[in-house]
Amino acid sequence: MLLNRDDWYDTSRDLDWTFTYVEASDAFPARWSGVGAESADAWQAWDEPFRVSYRDYVRIQREKESGVKAVRSAMMRAGVYEKLDAGHVAASHLHMGTTCMVEQMAVTMQSRFCRFAPSPRWRNLGVFGMLDETRHAQLDLLFSHDLLKFDPRFDWAQKAFHTNEWGVLAVKNFFDDIMLSADCVEASLAASLTVEHGFTNIQFVALAADAMAAGDVNWSNLLSSIQTDEARHAQVGFPTLAVLMETDPARAQTSLDVAFWRSTRLFQVLTGPAMDYYTPLDQRKMSFKEFMLEWIVNHHERILEDYGLKKPWYWDQFMHSLENGHHALHIGTWYWRPTLFWKPNAGVSKDEREWLREKYPTWEELRPAEWCTDPGERVALT
Ligand SMILES: [Fe+2]
Ligand SMILES: [Fe+2]
């Protein structure tokens, strides 16, 4: 007789070894797991909210893959890419060049969870996470490869992280720290809870909506398909935080504060300009600030409150940066555009400036004067 999943799930996910010829601390060194011997028992309480069996996982992923690929072939036939707005195309170059290899780095992070996480339940979930991230990296490569014949810039999906391109170095540096060099606990707070559960919404939900409006059904579909996986494996952050609040709350506070600030700065480059300057005006759904407030700020405040943590010490500065940070980075990338692999869109025509002033009331007074006028008006001013 075939058992129902719930009859065997709790036993199978808790499968573990009792060591007889090595010390537990040698098999699971603290520098890999992030957990010292003194708190090892507390991690037995780690509980994941997402119950999935391998059989279910394969079935669902298979359906997702066929969905993405069906759209892909239809779109390639329809010649949609040639009709896309240049600003939108820049957003897709930026995304592919800077995130494809992050997906690949996430495979390594998840494989560390599979082997070194301090609970068998977490190690079990790591297997699914690793398969997810492999799928994401391969989808990005596949789609970029399809588009190479239209624009060689899609080559950056594969090569960006093997160059010294400065924008890419900033991304790589952050993910080196939180995915490749972090122990399991640190990686799960910084990568799973902060980036995957919070900030990827902006990249995968907001950009997916803008991409759909811009007519790029293919890319929108790819982003949404990836996000369904992120929403699931990102959940390992919550039980990790719950246990850490019992064993070392100060560490939880510091890890989250650092990860949240670094993520903010990163997404101010990756997504801020794409949403507020590259996406064609009539296709914008929300401003970067509106999206941040609704999807990131509320969400982060709730996590902090629910778990008994304080707001980070820089909170006022962070709120202030929502008015300024990504605008400043946009101006910076625009003036240094010969050094970039994507082709930024200035996005400050008369109508676009009006939109920016409406969304950001201080936009004009805080920007350099030449940025806020048409070239014709500029001549008249001097
Ligand atoms: Fe991913
Ligand atoms: Fe992920």
Q: Cα of 234 to ligand 2 centre, how many Å?
A: 6
In this structure, which ligand is nearest to the CA of 226?
1
Q: With contact defined as beta carbons under 8 Å apart, do 143 and 219 qualify? A: yes
Closest ligand to residue 233's CA: 2
Ligand 2 centroid from CA 353, angstroms: 35
**The pLDDT of residue 376:** 54
Q: How far is the CA of 308 from the centre of ligand 2 (A)?
A: 26
pLDDT at 115: 95
**Cα(192) to centroid of ligand 2, in Å?**
7
pLDDT of the residue at 245: 95
Cα 205 to ligand 2 centre (Å): 14
Look up residue 363 and give its DSSP letter: T
User: What residue type is 73 in one-letter code?
Assistant: S
pLDDT of the residue at 88: 85
Q: Give the model confidence (pLDDT) of 125-161 as tens digits.
A: 999 999 999 999 999 999 999 999 999 999 999 999 9
Identify the sign of the CA torsion 227, 231, 232, 234: positive
Residue 26 C-alpha to ligand 2 middle, in angstroms?
A: 28
Distance 132 CA to ligand 2 centre (A): 7
How remote is the CA of residue 348 from the centroid of ligand 1, in Å? 33
- Residue spans of the domains in the chain: they are 60-347
Number of Cβ within 10 Å of residue 176's Cβ equals 14
pLDDT value at residue 380: 40
pLDDT of residue 78: 65
The CATH number of the domain covering residues in 60-347: 1.10.620.20
Residues of the chain with pLDDT under 70: 75, 78, 374-382
Residue 162's SS3 state is helix
